[in-house]
Structure formats: structure tokens, C-alpha cells
Amino acid sequence: MATQERKLPFGKIEPNSMKYFLSCGLGGIIACGPTHTAVTPLDLVKCRRQVDPKIYTSNISAWRSIFAKEGLRGVFFGWSPTFIGYSFQGAGKYGLYEYFKHLYGDTMFPETNRTLVFLGASASAEFFADMALCPLEAIKVRMQTTLPPYANNLREGWSRVVAKEGMASLYKGLYPLWARQIPYTMTKFATFEETVNQIYGYLGKPKESYGQLTQTGVSFLGGYIAGIFCAVVSHPADVMVSKLNADRKSGEGAMKAVSRIYGNIGFSGLWNGLPVRIVMLGTLTGFQWLIYDSFKVFLGLPTTGGH
């Protein structure tokens, strides 16, 4: 008896079609928005300790202190700009990555080394994705790093910034954000693709010979390893983004602010909060790839990497 073909939720999706890229963008939203929101407690403490290393003696003491004063809401403070901002970023990051990977690797430079394609595609995707993330990230950091809080929610923060400083002020951290996120995403995608290839090479059989559970498990492992590399590569810029959004003086140029802040914290200060960020990004990136590739499997598409 012939097996019945599984009915796909959106019908058959042709690889590298507009429907394919939009589907990947939707997968990016599902992968990034909820996962970044879930680690808000880690992000909250990380940002505050980056701005003021003496504010808490440890992460555990920080959460105890925040929970005692403000309850669960305080521990997840800043979740709304996190959820919306990283949903927008996820759509651009994953959807545009697939687009640029096809454009560079299959159309413009078909003979180019694949790692260079991964690096170029991820850098291009993140360049545009950060434009959507930047204003939400600016509000999130202000909310999380100022005590008492600059604003109590996204709507209040957005209205206050626009009324007092104008829309342009929401993009004052764009260059540092690019400096943090573009190397991060290049590391994330290229390391993931190469790690997945290495895992399947170690297993000794083509990806297609393994079941969906194994393939998505490989995606999680490859994502976790990629996340560790991402944390180390992007951490100094991450510290500087937090500092700039919390401690940039009115009318101060970006480079002047960076120079002043670096003079205050020094090289060692750029690494404040790294251990917690390694745990956060390793877990975060692993689950993002697991969710993203599981969504692709749900749509009847192959998982990422291992070709």
C-alpha cells in the first residue's frame, strides 16, 4: 500500500522562491522573538552589571534582590521591546540570510568558497535586520539600565524618547549595534553551517539518511557551539552598546562617547558579564536553530546545513 503524503500547511514551497524566503523569515520570528524574551532575566542582569559592575555581587543575588522588590514582573522587565525588536530582527536575519546565500552562492559567485558565502550572506542580512532592531534595543537598554527605570513599558519609553529627543535618537546606537551584531551573526551562521557539516561528516552518512529528530538534534548542537563563539566575538561591542545607550551625553558624538567610556572602563571592562553571556547565547542560539529548523521541517523543507 502506498504511504499517504503528508499535507503541508502552506502547500509545497519551492526552494529559493519568494514564498520560501518569506517562510524562512516567519521561522526567524518564531525562533528569535520568544527565545530572546525567555532569557530576559539573564539579559536584564547582564546589562545592569555591564553598566555598573558593583550593582550586584552575583547573578543569583541580583535576581533575589529584583524579585524581592518587584516580583516576577521585575525579573522580566524589558520583555516587550525585547520580544518585538528581536522578532523583527529574526525575520530579517533568517529570511534575508537565505536570500543572500542563494544570491551570492548560486547566482553571483557560484564558484566561491562556501564559507565566504555564509559570511557574506549573514553580514548582509544582519545589516538590514539591525535597522529594525535598533530603536527597540535602545528603549530596552534604557529601561533595564536606569534606576529608577526610564520607562515602565515600551509605549511609555517610545513616547518619552520621541517627545524629548526625536526619532533620530533611537538610532544613535546603530553603528555600535552593527559592530556587535554583524560579527556575531557572521560567526553564528558560518560556525553553525561548518559545525553541522563536521557533525554529519563524523557520523559518516549523508544528512538525508537520518530522521527528522536526529537532524533537528544536530541543529541544536551546532547552534549551541556557534553560540559560544558568538558570545566571545561580540561581547566587547555588546558592553559598549549598553554603555552608550545608558551613558551617552546629549549632543555627544558617537566616537567621542566611545572614547570617553573606554577611558573610564578600560579593556578589562569590555569583558564584564562574559560568563553569563556565554551561557545565555549558547542556550539561546541552540534553541533558535532547533526551533527554526523544526519549523522548516513542519513546512516540508530540509533543515539548514549539512549539504
| One domain, residues 26 and 157 | yes
6 is a domain residue: no
pLDDT, position 3: 45
1, part of any domain: no
The answer on 289 and 214 residing in a single domain is yes
Residues 6+ apart with CB under 8 A from 188: 122, 226, 227, 229, 230, 285
- Same domain, yes or no: 142 and 287: no
Q: Which of 174, 108, 96, 178 shows the shortest CA–CA distance to 135?
A: 174
In a domain, 7, yes or no: no
**Please, where are the H alpha helices in the chain?**
18-38, 40-51, 59-75, 79-102, 114-145, 154-165, 174-203, 212-247, 254-269, 274-298
Residues 71 and 107 in one domain: yes
Residues 137 and 246 in one domain: no
Asked if residue 8 belongs to a domain, the reply is: no
Which residue range(s) make up the domain with 213?
183-306
Q: In the structure grid, which three cell numbers stand for residue 297, read together?
A: 521541517
**Domain annotation covers residue 116:** yes
Averaged pLDDT score across all residues of the chain: 88
User: Does residue 160 sit in the same domain as residue 193?
Assistant: no
Comparison of pLDDT for 160 and 237, the residue scoring more: 160
Judge residue 260's burial from the number of C-beta atoms within 10 Å of its C-beta, 0-12 exposed, 13-18 middle, 19 or more buried.
middle
Kindly state whether residues 147 and 292 are assigned to the same domain.
no
Give the mean pLDDT of 77-99: 96
Domain-located, residue 275: yes
Local structure of 305: helix, strand or coil: coil
- Of 10-24, 39-53, 124-138, give the lowest mean pLDDT range: 39-53
Residue 227 has pLDDT above 80, yes or no: yes
pLDDT for position 248: 67
Same domain, 24 and 136: yes
| Count of structural domains, the chain | 2
37 lies in some domain: yes
Residues 187 and 144 in one domain: no
Is 144 part of any domain?
yes
Single out the residue in 171, 201, 222 at which a domain terminates.
171
Tell me, yes or no, whether 231 and 273 share the same domain.
Answer: yes
Closest CA to 218 of 229, 232, 202: 202
Of the pLDDT bands very low, low, confident and very high (cuts 50, 70, 90), residue 246 is low
Residues 148 and 285 in one domain: no
CATH number for 56? 1.50.40.10
Final residue of a domain: which of 138, 171, 204? 171
Spatial CB neighbours of 8, under 8 Å, sequence gap ≥ 6: 299, 300
Q: Are residues 240 and 269 in the same domain?
A: yes
How confident is residue 223, by pLDDT bands cut at 50, 70 and 90? very high
**Residue after which a domain boundary falls, among 171, 206, 241:** 171
